[in-house]
Amino acid sequence: MQLPSTHIPASPATLPDPEVLPGWDPAWSQLVTVLGEDGSHTFHVLDTAPALAKLGRTPTGTILAVHGNPTWSYLWRSLATATLANAADPEYTGPIWRLVAPDQLDMGYSERLAHAGLPVPASAQQPGVSTDRGYRTLTGRITDLDALVRHLGLDRDAAAGQPLLTLGHDWGGVISLGWATRNADLVSGIMTLNTAVHHQADQPIPAPLQAALAGPLLPGSTVLTDAFLRVTTGLGNPALDPDVRQAFHAPYWSAEQRGGIGGFVADIPVDPAHGSYPELQRIGEDIAAYGRTGKPALILWGPKDPVFLDRYLADLLDRLPAADLHRFEKAGHLLPEDADITAPILLWAEQVVTGTKPSRTPAGDTTEEAPPLWHFLDTWADKSDTALVDMAGRTAGRVSWSRLSAVVNAIASGLYDHGLRPGDRISLLVPPGRDLTAILYACLRLGAVGVVADAGLGIAGMTRAVRAARPDWIIGETPGLSVARAQNWPGRRISVTTLPRLGAAALKVETSIYQLIAAHDGQRYDGPAPTKDDPAAILFTSGSTGPAKGVMYTQGRLANLTRLLRDVFNVRPGSSLLAGFAPFALLGPAIGATSTTPDMDVTKPATLTAVKVADAAAAANATMVFASPAALRNVVATADQLSPAQRNTLAGIELVLSAGAPVHPDLVAEVGKLFTGADFHSPYGMTESLLLADIDAAAITELNATGTEDGVCVGRPVSPVRMVIAPLNPDGSASTKLLEGPEAAGVLGEVVISAPHMKAGYDRLWYTDARSRRDTVDGLEWHRTEDIGHLDADGRLWIEGRLQHVVTTADGPVAPGGPEARIDALHAVARSAIVGVGPAGTQAVVAVIEPATGPGLKRLKRGVAPTELAAQVRAAAAPIPVAAVLVTDSVPVDIRHQSKINRPRLAVWADGILAGGKVGRP
């Protein structure tokens, strides 16, 4: 390959060859010649207007999409396909969108410009060298886009009232935003994917750009070779299909075709000396001005992007504070290839056009407000009775209501004096106990937002969670602060205990909670109280069914939860509860109950033993015990270690609550032998709504032990929860139709709920939140739980699995919970999982078995189950036809609850075995 060292010739625009472009329709390709400031230029444009005309559909509006470097309009093929599919559907009643996506000049199949020399960044040029950089600048590209918009008449359509939405990716995002914010009178809304409009001088340039911008290396990596192109198209998560990757390369096979790639990189204004730096500054200011108008904006983001890091997202959010944001946690730089962005784009676009948004008023939300969460800390500020009993390590001891109130006020006053303000986000890396309780209530009183990500997520999971929430502050013990430092988590740092000077400096710690308490002891925080609609906490889900999601709660919705606990379980002020389940431990002070934290690691349920429960109960005269089923299993398993006095203590417990997962009847029976005087209840809920239904021991034994219905019965909805069913469609999705009462009895579908104490939304997951609340019945806000099951004739809920785990057979959808429960009842089975193998719609049902161990049971090898066991499993699963029965050492479950099965992982494993692959561990 040879190239003249100082010249790249101009060449005309061409039409792409659809034979080498999977998913591309040649009817989309248009060549458009536009008269611009420097003469006429011809663009290759993806334009769906002709296809819409052929369908006889008139567009409601236009989406103007701009690609970045080194992609081209092929990037938007899925969006083109989706918009036209809607237009072709006679039952579709939403907006019809025309998609216009130009290849920028020097890119894709648009006209190539003449280059007098290979690209060199303006900031790298020597004094006295011509300022003609030989490539299209940021200003020029915005001017090009403006000329094209006006040539196509999109400005006239917008002025006549037809919605115009803009969309951009990579440096196309900058160009798109630059044009849109200067033409805000024409634009109905703006959308951007990963991009950046500001780079802090004290921050390093992302590594991929450092390599490409390294002076004389720039031409070699971007033009003379296809290195930059290959690196960029190698950023897929997962990797691009080879045919798709080749399609992105198709316009850039020769060096003569890659001049625009090098020019685009050379035009990145990384410092004030660069010629395009002032233009980028103007764009940033224009975006901020647009943000102040409150006009619609959507940001879709792939956090795994090595180029456009989270700090660039934070800058965009500062400029567009009202923007809707959705983070695709598994996606990176090539977001349109990594994730389905068409569904969120089209749903958001529809909401912009119609101006409709789901209700924010849930069932049971009355004008009567529950008392604020710190109510008892104020009213009992002089009370010497015990508020907290902490049994764990360094913080072990008792705290009175008066002391807890004083400490909370001191922390709140100290944090405010140190600079924390209402609305600030605080990541709390503190284990349950008196310190966490006091810090959390100080944050609630201040109106700050506590961010709680369970250590059970692991370092990688916690890092994803914290970066998603992007806290302003981190308060933690040394282990948590060390992880935050090592992983470069955002936020100013405060330790709990006072650290040595060198240790504090190494961890970037500014002060400590103990120092703030000492400095402000006796001081009452008198700042304004947050309102019931102000955010209070972001609680992350377990991550057992995908990346952990941040669930936003307001002050009022948490207060409603405490009121519900009081009403359903008679948890009255003055009660004493022992909490082995972290959420309930933190709610004790809000209920006015003495809270006892046992000596355990809440991320490891097996660390709670019968002795630890008895000792904690005795220390606080506890009458209630809250614990997960996994924790209770270990309590029962260690009961032989109890002394007679400790057994008497447990016999005095009046109520045992087990939340987090369904409870097996055998466990209920064993718990009853230990807590002989207690009523047993198992509330059903989730991070999004901690209490929805309740079932007692008698019902668990009567209903779940007899197997009269498919799944696991979790009881009746508690008042004021409303619960409806969205029936499953043949493809396994949930219908938009909602059934309630007798109409819902026996119908398999997604559980949809409305309650005054449910989430206020998902944090920075706009699309997830919009999908979960898309229904409106009786004008109420609803939440789609993604749990599937049915209501029986008596209104009890039976859970049969998760929506994403439905097996789609040729005979219809199959929920895993029913056959699993019947298979689990077999003597030879410890645990089972039902998964689907094969194409969606024709999947085969496969049962994966974890064998039981014990006298008379054979040890089984991984792989295909023995004939006798397979026959037993098929008989138990009937009438569901099981195509294959496989054996594994252990069915993988989540760490926190030890009950949520990783079915996707098992499905991949089962598929490999049935295809003749090696039998390894799932």
pLDDT band at 125 (very low <50, low <70, confident <90, very high): very low
pLDDT band at 270 (very low <50, low <70, confident <90, very high): confident
- pLDDT above 70 for 134: no
- pLDDT above 80 for 324: yes
- pLDDT above 70 for 707: no
The tens digit of pLDDT for each residue in 433-449 reads: 899 999 999 999 999 99
Q: Classify domain 709-759+770-804 at the CATH superfamily level.
A: Luciferase; Domain 3 (2.30.38.10)
Q: Residue 60, Cα to own-chain centre: how many angstroms?
A: 31
Counting residues of the chain whose pLDDT is more than 70, the rounded percentage is 94
The tens digit of pLDDT for each residue in 752-771 reads: 999 999 999 999 999 999 99
- pLDDT above 60 for 130: no
- pLDDT above 80 for 583: no
Could you give the dihedral angle defined by the CA atoms of residues 201, 205, 206 and 208, in that order, rounded to the nearest 10 degrees?
A: 160
Q: What residues contact residue 563 under an 8 Å CB cut-off, 6+ apart?
A: 370, 757
Same fold, 394-556 and 806-914: no
Q: Say if residues 616 and 625 touch (Cβ distance below 8 Å).
A: no
Q: What pLDDT was estimated at residue 659?
A: 83
Q: What pLDDT was estimated at residue 4?
A: 43
Cα→Cα distances 442→16, 471, 855, Å: 62, 16, 55
In whole angstroms, give the CA distance from residue 64 to residue 46.
10
In whole angstroms, give the CA distance from residue 881 to residue 844.
9
Query: Each residue of 399-428: b (16+ CB within 10 Å) or e?
Result: bbbbbbbbbbbbbbbbbbebebebebbbbb
Domain ranges in the chain are 18-354, 394-556, 570-706, 709-759+770-804, 806-914
Q: What pLDDT was estimated at residue 129?
A: 33
pLDDT band at 582 (very low <50, low <70, confident <90, very high): low
In whole angstroms, give the CA distance from residue 747 to residue 754.
19
Q: 19 or 891, which is more confident? A: 19
Q: What is the DSSP letter of 424?
A: -
- pLDDT above 50 for 76: yes
Q: What is the pTM of this model?
A: 0.91
With CA atoms as reference, report the closest residue to 561 among 725, 690, 736, 415: 690
Q: What is the β-pairing status of strands 509-512 and 492-495?
A: parallel
Counting residues of the chain whose pLDDT is more than 90, the rounded percentage is 75
Q: What pLDDT was estimated at residue 131?
A: 37
With CA atoms as reference, report the closest residue to 757 among 690, 703, 852, 706: 690
Task: Provide mean pLDDT across the span 541-556.
Answer: 87
**Architecture in CATH for domain 806-914:** 2-Layer Sandwich (3.30)
Q: Is 39 helix (H, G, I), strand (E, B) or coil?
A: strand
- CATH number listed for the domain at residues 18-354: 3.40.50.1820
- Mean pLDDT, the chain, integer: 91
- pLDDT above 50 for 411: yes
Which CATH code, of 3.90.1150.10, 3.40.50.980, 1.10.1670.10, 2.60.120.340, is assigned to 394-556? 3.40.50.980
Q: What pLDDT was estimated at residue 201?
A: 63
Is 570-706 a CATH 3.40.50.980 domain? yes
The tens digit of pLDDT for each residue in 615-667 reads: 999 999 999 999 888 899 999 999 999 999 999 999 999 999 998 788 888 89
In whole angstroms, give the CA distance from residue 472 to residue 423.
10
